[in-house]
Structure 1
Amino acid sequence: MSISYNALSGALAAQAALNTVSQNIANAQTKGYTRQGVLLQANAGDGSGLSPGNGVQVGSLLRFSDSYKSQQMWRAASDVGKHSQTQPYLTQLEKVMSDDKSSLSYGIDNFFKALNAAGVDPTSTPLRQQVITAADSMSQQFNSIFNVTANQMISVQQQRSAILPGLNESVAGIAKLNQQIIAVGANGSNTSALIDQREQLIDSVASQVGVEVLNNADGTATVSLKSGQPLVVGNLSGTLAFDTTSGVQQLNLTFAQTTFKLDDTKVGGQLGGLANFQENTLKPLQQSIAEIADQMSAKVNAQLAAGFSAPGVPGTPLLVFNPASATGLLQLSSGFKTSDLAFSSDGTPGDSGNLQQLVAIKGQPITLTSLGNVLLGDADTQLVGKLGIDSQQNQAQLNTATTVRQQSEDDWKSTSAVNTDEEGINLIEFQNMYQANMKVIAVANTLFDATLKMFG
């Protein structure tokens, strides 16, 4: 009977292998599917020294997975998420601020050109009107660009808030799958499909925040932020939320009734990239635009106040700076007229002493938080240059991260993805194995029948 038993065990093992091959081929195009295999083990003999063995058995189902390659893929996903979310904002700012007709430099230059032109005839009403028109146009350009940054601020905050529901759902899903994997594994069933689902959720989370993943002996995965705070431990999951009670978005993580305050500029992924852009690019740029408007309007108004629009009539403010308004950051003084321009230094009609001092303001220094001391005429150019560098660096980092992600995916596929050519070969080999064992069973039956006839 050992012949029949050996052949039967071989046929059953081949059948198990064919089932595994068919599962692989069926899921050749399934995203995130990890190919499987069977580990065949020879059964030892009865110890008599005359038995070659007791057939074969399926020792275990194999899941072809490399933890290192998965970790590399998740780290790359975080880098791609970080840089891809900020690039559209940087590109828009760079385009708007460097445009020949809508930049701050264009408006400032035209204003001071109008002042220069008025020096030909300081009493000319058309030339004076040109100064007021240029001042109004400059104010509108300040307001327009500042409004772009204000809209981006709103968009970034909304985008950050929109990420959290899906992120929290994925984190909870990982914890639920941990629990299912333990339960299914305890029954001796295959958990590969559940692990695939969990790894796809981890990949999704990794694109939104940077994570560290630890695979445990019981089959569960522990997921934490780069800074160490836990997101998933066993069947427990954390929840990320923004607290706005202080007037700003404070990112908090609540896990097991403990709340951690997070620096969201350092959490990585899409969430960290957006926060880093908001804090280190957008807010400083907004502040710099406001500082240029504030200091320039103060200098112009102060110089007008030092001159006279008519004998004994001191100048009045031309510009009004309003930091509380996104659409009216800089405006003309209400009711300001051409006759209010104090070009004279002593009140004498036709004198342009104070006008020359106004023209000289363009070459005076101002102080910007992001740049330090710069000349008023160069301030916007330097802001645009810094923005261009930031955009180019981010684009270069995005290109690198995208390449690394593609390479890490290819590395993962080389180990875990289904190769239909390889599976086709396995299909033929295990089919031959099955048929050969069935022939052995047929021979064993023939021998058994012949033995019975000998005693018939």
Structure 2
Amino acid sequence: MAMINNALSGALAAQVALSASSQNIANLQTKGYTRQAALLTAVGPDSSPRSSGNGVQVSSLVRFSDGYKSQAMWRAASELGAHSQTQPYLSQLESVMGDETASLSAGIDQFFGALNAVAGDPGSTPLRQQVLTSASLMSERFNGLNNVFNAQLQSVRNQRSAIVDSANAQIATIARLNRQISEAQAGGLSASSMIDARDQAIDSLASKMGLEVSDNADGTRDVSLKTGQSLVLGSMHGTLKAAPTATSPQEFSLSFAGTSYVLDPSKLGGQLGGLAKYEAEKLTPLQQDIADIARQIAEKTNAQLALGFKPDGSGGTPLFDFNPGSNADMLKVTGGFVAADLAFSADGAPGDTGNLQKLVALKSQPITVGSIGSVLLSDADTQLVGKLGVDSQLNKAALKTTQTVRTQSVDDWQSTSGVNQDEEAVNLVEYQNMYQANLKVISVANALFDATLAMMG
């Protein structure tokens, strides 16, 4: 009977092992699936001195999971998320501001070129009208670029709100799976598929923000932000919120267990942190720089015109209106301003161009731009475009690096946890042979038993 019991335990163990391999093969292309294997343990002998043992048992189903590799994969997802979200915005600004036909530099050059052209015939109405036309076109370029900035600001904030909504769904999923995993393991049931689903949710959440993940003895995982605030504790979870306040167009907060924390989005990491840093460190300063250029062009031009005289001998009046923070008309030609209002004369004498020459010279005067300091008016936009190009290239390089790191970390995880088709094929053959061998033992044991009965009969 011992032979039969031993062989039966071996056959049953082989069946469990074959079932695990078949599950692995079935999930060969399942994203995030962690391969399993039956852990076989010999059953020791009983008290009989002639007992060699009592067969084999499946002590557990083992998941081939490496916590360090999972953590590395999640960290890489966060870094990749930070750089991948900002690059489309940088590329758009680089394209718009660097366009030869639509750049601010071209508009400024055309305006001062029109001023220079009228010097040969300051009384020419068509040439004077060309100055007004070029002034209006230059203003439209400033306003158009300001509209691009405002559109990007709105897009960034909308995108962050959408990311927060998605993150909340994943946070709730992790907490729910924590509870289900804990209950399954307490009941002695396999929770492998639920653990895989939880790891997938953590991986997706990690792309949105930097995370710290720790394991608990009951099978649950706690998840917190890099800044220390808890997102998930066992089956409890918090809720992120992004909403405008009296002091901020979009304030981030975390509510957990009845307590609310205000968060600095630039420190969150991942997609949220990348977008927040882009807004605070790139987009908003660049928009202010462009506004600085527009304001100083308006102020300097208006101040110089005020020192000159119109053809009728009256004093000069402002050519530009500057409206800080305005979308469509940040810079515009003063309403009702006509060609005859251009005060090109320095002394009121007909044909004098003294003030006109000083207007033309404004292009070579320095202005102060926030991110680059003092710079010639003619060079300001070029330097800003160059700085933007450097920022874009640096982000592209960082993006490429983080993509490589992420790919390597996923491959490293796959080498441990992923299904290897060749390995599973070998396992199938080995466990099939094990099963057949144990059936052969049962057959031999039956034959011996029958022979013994026949001998005794």
Please state which band the TM-score falls in when normalised by the shorter chain. Answer: over 0.9
Give the Cα separation in 2 of the matches to 1:324 and 1:428. 73
Give the Cα separation in 1 of the matches to 2:315 and 2:53. 113
Deviations 1:418-449 (A, max 9, x none): 11111011001001000100111111111111
1:369 matched to which residue of 2? 370
1:383 matched to which residue of 2? 384
Give the Cα separation in 1 of the matches to 2:40 and 2:97. 67
2:195 matched to which residue of 1? 195
2:86 matched to which residue of 1? 86
1:71 matched to which residue of 2? 71
Give the Cα separation in 2 of the matches to 1:252 and 1:373. 39
Greater Cα shift, 46-55 or 320-329: 46-55
Deviations 1:155-195 (A, max 9, x none): 11111111121110100000000000010101111111110
Give the Cα separation in 2 of the matches to 1:356 and 1:438. 106
Deviations 1:16-49 (A, max 9, x none): 1011111111111111100000111111112544
Alpha-carbon shift at residue 72 of structure 1 (Å) = 1.1
Contact 1:311 1:348 in 2 (8 A): no
Please give the TM-score of this superposition, normalised by the length of structure 2. 0.98
Alpha-carbon shift at residue 324 of structure 1 (Å) = 3.6
1:423 matched to which residue of 2? 424
1:394 matched to which residue of 2? 395
2:338 matched to which residue of 1? 337
Give the Cα separation in 2 of the matches to 1:164 and 1:286. 26
2:97 matched to which residue of 1? 97
Give the Cα separation in 2 of the matches to 1:7 and 1:355. 107
Amino acid at match of 2:27: N
Alpha-carbon shift at residue 394 of structure 1 (Å) = 0.8
Alpha-carbon shift at residue 51 of structure 1 (Å) = 2.2
Equivalent residues in 2 for 1:266-285 (5 A)?
Answer: 266-285=267-286
Amino acid at match of 1:338: A
Contact 1:177 1:198 in 2 (8 A): yes
Equivalent residues in 2 for 1:25-424 (5 A)?
Answer: 25-246=25-246, 247-310=248-311, 312-424=313-425
Alpha-carbon shift at residue 50 of structure 1 (Å) = 3.0
Contact 1:34 1:416 in 2 (8 A): yes
Contact 1:111 1:134 in 2 (8 A): yes
Amino acid at match of 2:298: S
The answer to whether residue 35 in structure 2 is matched with residue 23 in structure 1 is no
Give the Cα separation in 1 of the matches to 2:285 and 2:96. 17
Runs of 4+ in 1 over 4 A off after TM superposition: none
Amino acid at match of 1:297: A
Give the Cα separation in 1 of the matches to 2:325 and 2:133. 24
Give the Cα separation in 2 of the matches to 1:224 and 1:289. 39
Deviations 1:127-160 (A, max 9, x none): 2111111111101111111111111111111111
Identity %: 61
Contact 1:143 1:326 in 2 (8 A): yes
Alpha-carbon shift at residue 452 of structure 1 (Å) = 1.8
Deviations 1:396-431 (A, max 9, x none): 111111111111111111111111111011001001
Give the Cα separation in 1 of the matches to 2:433 and 2:226. 51
Give the Cα separation in 1 of the matches to 2:175 and 2:325. 46
Contact 1:177 1:194 in 2 (8 A): yes
Alpha-carbon shift at residue 243 of structure 1 (Å) = 3.1
Deviations 1:320-374 (A, max 9, x none): 1112421111101111111111111110111111111111111111112222111
Amino acid at match of 2:296: Q
Alpha-carbon shift at residue 454 of structure 1 (Å) = 2.5
Q: What's the secondary structure of 1:313's corresponding residue?
A: coil
Deviations 1:214-266 (A, max 9, x none): 12221101111111111111001111101312242111011111111111012
Give the Cα separation in 2 of the matches to 1:67 and 1:76. 14
Q: What's the secondary structure of 1:308's corresponding residue?
A: coil
Alpha-carbon shift at residue 275 of structure 1 (Å) = 1.1
Greater Cα shift, 242-251 or 37-46: 242-251
Give the Cα separation in 1 of the matches to 2:13 and 2:28. 23
Alpha-carbon shift at residue 392 of structure 1 (Å) = 0.6
Please give the TM-score of this superposition, normalised by the length of structure 1. 0.98
Q: What's the Cα RMSD here? A: 1.1
Alpha-carbon shift at residue 451 of structure 1 (Å) = 1.6
Contact 1:182 1:220 in 2 (8 A): yes
Amino acid at match of 2:12: L
Structure 2 unaligned spans of 5+: none
Contact 1:10 1:55 in 2 (8 A): yes
Contact 1:178 1:234 in 2 (8 A): yes
Q: What's the secondary structure of 2:310's corresponding residue?
A: strand
Amino acid at match of 1:242: A
Contact 1:311 1:346 in 2 (8 A): no
Give the Cα separation in 2 of the matches to 1:28 and 1:447. 44
Deviations 1:86-144 (A, max 9, x none): 11111110000011111010000111111111111212212211111111110111111
